[in-house]
Structure 1
Amino acid sequence: MRKLSVIAAALATGTLAALAVTPAQAAESGSALKVRGVQYDAPGSDSNSCTTGNTAAEYLTIKNYSTTATVNLKGYVVRDAVGNSFTFTNNHYLQPGDFVKLRGGKGTESDASNVAYRGSCNFIWNNDRDTIYLKTPSGAIADSHSYTKSGSDADGNGYVTFHG
């Protein structure tokens, strides 16, 4: 009976509605890691060739917006709207204010060069529209953004900024 009276009081004051919204907001706004931007349309003609293609020119920038905490990307997942995904399997530490460019293609991951490679020469981001999800190792959404070429890319250069 105590639970019902607490819920009734919360409904009457609007507190329950605020409590119901808090977890979803905390999932994104509570994360220090955010998708800063995406080069969704690599310059030039798209080519998936590992030797002569341009998949490395397609990249996603993830930034640590914390002013105090270092974050290890190991276990974080980046995925698109249809389920193509990449999991950071190595330790990759982002100091406060630091970033990493997750590039297509193959290469050597480097903290010093702020780069990681998906290990695939296939493009992941659609050139017309897509949704980007950054998930924590536990599966919670740290950040997500949708874009369209016509609505999000004002200068038409194939790059969209989400967080400055």
Structure 2
Amino acid sequence: MAAALVAGGLTGVLVATPAQATEYSSALKVAGVQYDAPGSDNNSCTTGNTKAEYVTIKNFSRTTRVNLKGYVVKDAVGNSYTFRIDHYLEPGDYVKLRGGKGTESDANNVAYRQNCNFIWNNDRDTIKLIKPGGAYADTHSYTKSANDRDGNGYITFHS
């Protein structure tokens, strides 16, 4: 495109603005977040909707199988969840880390935080995916007004 500008007699500077300031080299990425669970927020373990709030972690590798054991998911204020058992993601596979209580399942691509409180703020937050050794695998900050154009409470990353 710069060559076209010069060839056309126009001069200018092209500045690429990345969607994310830092890109980490990791097969695992935060693919999306349902930060605002459908319905009225209710964090009751028996009748609430915290299970409808989730973050999707996907293995974007084409060849590498990744074990989630030891990975940590954190929000901006330090609420966290650590994958404590073996959970393997094949290339292209994903897991939904949900609020509420339940059983982690490779077959159903799901893990539960074992906590019925909401973790993702409905107006803005930061999602951090951290490798077992402490290095960042991925991170995303969002605001409802800037990133959720259709207002459905879901944002996609790395589409």
TM-score bracket, shorter-length normalisation: 0.7 to 0.9
Percent identical among aligned pairs is: 77
TM-score by length of 2: 0.86
Say whether 1:46 aligns with 2:2: no
Match of 2:110 in 1: 115
Counting only pairs closer than 5 Å after superposition, residues 142-153 of structure 1 correspond to structure 2 as 142-153=137-148
Match of 1:61 in 2: 56
> Which residue does the alignment assign to 2:67?
72
CA–CA distance in structure 1, aligned partners of residues 24 and 142 of structure 2: 19
CA distance in 1, matches of 2:135, 2:156: 22
Gaps of 5+ in 1: 1-23
Number of residues paired by the alignment? 139
Question: Partners in 1 of 2:61 and 2:51 — Cα distance?
Answer: 28
| Regions of 4+ moved over 3 Å | none
Match of 1:133 in 2: 128
* TM-score normalised by the chain length of structure 1: 0.83
Q: Pick the aligned partner of 1:101 from 88, 96, 113.
A: 96
CA apart distance, 1:29: 3.2
User: Do the aligned partners of 2:24 and 2:136 also contact (CA within 8 Å) in 1?
Assistant: no
Please, what is the CA RMSD of the aligned residues?
1.1
Question: Which residue identity is paired with 2:99?
Answer: G
